[in-house]
Structure 1
Amino acid sequence: MPILADLRALNVEGAEVALWTVRGPRGAANAVPIYSGRWVETTDGVDEALKATLSSDLERIEEVLDYGLLAQNNEASALLVQADETHLAHLLEEIVAETVLKKAVQVRHLQNAKFYVAKFIVGQQIAYGIRKTDPTWKTRKARSVRNVFFQDERLAIDDRPHFELSRTFDFIVLGGEILILNKRAFESILRHKAAQREDFQELQAEAEFHAIFVNVAPLVGYIGDNKIQLRRACAIRAKGHYRDEAFMERLRETHAEYGFALQFDDDGKIIATPETCADIMKALLDHRLRSGFSTLIYDVQDTTPVNI
């Protein structure tokens, strides 16, 4: 876990902190995302709170797993992806320098930010903690409530603009690597779903993929633009079992034994129907396995080969 070790080795307490609020991503779904950022001066108290958040996140990570379209982490783990596989560079270009023109000087510069980025600068190294904003950053929310505080055994109005900082980050960046704590937020901020759409288009264009179906249209319609199904389709392409004739032959021979209701024509091609699409996806993902101990058959979320 090199990135985790490197992050923990950073002198976070001695870091210089810069906080950016960012709007975006904007632009067409299949285009490079556009970001617009403003940096804001912070007090020592805010800086210390952001440092505490980074330290707390790093402390609770016990395991780092490779990012995958179907991979999931829990409260004690993080997913790892290489930055060059994402649109991160376009975001970092927007927040590269705290210039006068980029400084937030009015409350409207902060309102409606989609996320914020805390930069932790330690010498020549910069770590980034990135978090989606909550409703307190939205203009509509600010107009619909009144802030009050409790002091001297009574409530009083506080008309100052309020923004909340979370006690966790959604993902952390150092060098060319990204540690993901909240997968959904990561994919939203860096528009990773757009890459999945593009990958699905490329899968549909593959002659080898078309060749295993009588008609692939029902499966394409089943996947649509659903983010979960797009992830699964991209994972099917990455695994590439449909290109393996031995895999496909075993699927034809044993699918019923594994509880699949698949249909094949006389040439061995899959007959896709709305009723069988879910089973087709699971079969091509190789996500139904038999235990060598209990002999029971299980559905799994992801598969990691074990070298024996």
Structure 2
Amino acid sequence: MKSESVLTVLVAGLMNLAIAVAKLVAGILSGSAAMVSEAAHSAADTVTEIMLYIALRNSAKRPDEAHPFGYGSTAYMWAALAAAFTFVAGGLFSITHGFHSMDSGGEADFLVSYIVLAISFALEAVSFGRTIVQLRSESAEWDVRPRRFLKYTPDTSLKAVFLEDAAALVGLLLAAGGLALTEITGDPRYDGGASVLIGLLLLVVAVLLGHANLSLLIGRSLPPRFREAVRRELESGEEITAVQELLTLQLGPTSVLVAARIDYRDGADGAHIEATSRAVEARLREKYPMVTYVFLSPWGDAPVDR
């Protein structure tokens, strides 16, 4: 279990819990639909962080006889459930509540809402900053841009916290805009409209996270750049002439399976083939610690990459 991801999830969870309570109190006191929707948003994010923490804990279990490749894929199952919860509890609730509140009365106390929004923005910015630090650190290790790393990373907890924190900051701005327009015009439809927009924002985040986790849950290969690096490492073997077929599978956030059909030098005997295979596997594991399973077969037909 990656300590950086656990810390990021815990920080985000604690921030969201405190923010949810503050927003709910402000929403009840002021009668703002946008504030109540923001409270639902933060509550959904808090539950999501709990699910992501469970995902990280379960995926770190050691392999056993019943699960020889470990429990890494459970991280994607829990993360997919978290995305579904965000879709229903956050997105649909905010949209429904926003439409229902458009015909209600105006705000009773704008000041309370503005204060809570300002504090919430500061706390969310702290959590988002922590996520940015981790994202930049991990992308630098792979020598790729943070945006590209975020697209391909199998650590869906990092992706979830990043998207949720970014959505939270945008949602707070939407809520503030709705409150300001309602205060200026006295029209509650601006406040309700902000609630609907917050709900739509949550739906987009939920769909993005759901798609990413379902793709990994089904079984996704390594990114092309990583796959080619693995191929080059295999082809560097002393007795290896070509890698005819390379199969890779992301088993979990920190676990990768590599299987390949290898063409060995025609004159290589069993001892040399075994020694080469062991040396290549050792180098591969040392260079890429997330490669936990390597299977090499001394036969191959047509070149295929998957």
Select the structure with the greater relative contact order (CA < 8 A; seq sep ≥ 6). 2
Which is helix-richer, 1 or 2? 2
Same fold (TM over 0.5): no
Q: TM-score, normalised by structure 1?
A: 0.30
Q: TM-score, normalised by structure 2?
A: 0.30
